[in-house]
Structure 1
């Protein structure tokens, strides 16, 4: 039985493994600090999907006020389900939790960035009702 719950500091190793699967290796040295920051931040939520004691999914959310519109918006910054648990509806459960939290916060939309190479993820998000918004710009602050 899958349970969705707020992440705990004790979930750090499992979250680091999920981030590695997502293509972000090397988070283990700082993941505990990041989890603590997110758990303490009033405009962030970190939710895990647990199958008993095993964390099999994670979603990281940020709620951002909009200057020109009345509602805030929710940004999904990371969503990952363990490869062995994919296809069982866990991603949809995590996305539905994000939508419920966004509604409760008065958000008018959810946004996310999904790299062009993640074609399976594109299909997942389209099934959840997302549409492509083709312009996204990024500036690296490490390539000064």
Structure 2
């Protein structure tokens, strides 16, 4: 399973990247929730399956992005509603980085985008974005 996950996460994508971006490989690590640890560590942006930053999801280090959430599996116990991947599953976020991030409805980015300013967190259920995110990035966010 770990080799399969590593293979899926190392796929090169184009979401929110530019010619000047030195990070060309989208990366993600499964987010493990621990009551004794911060929900989303400093220096990461996190997306969660449930509201209020609960259940499970993925976290990306500042400067990382991912262009296609269909490549990210939904782990057992995450209460995913789709066919086993993270596409259209995010219900909340925590941006614990120093840069603005955005999620897009489209795979490989594109409009519309929903911005998540540095140091913010919230529920997509209050913005019309619940279960809509298909990619995440930081370049070109509104």
TM-score (ref. length: structure 2): 0.31
Pair member with larger Rg: 1
| Bigger proportion of residues as helix | 1
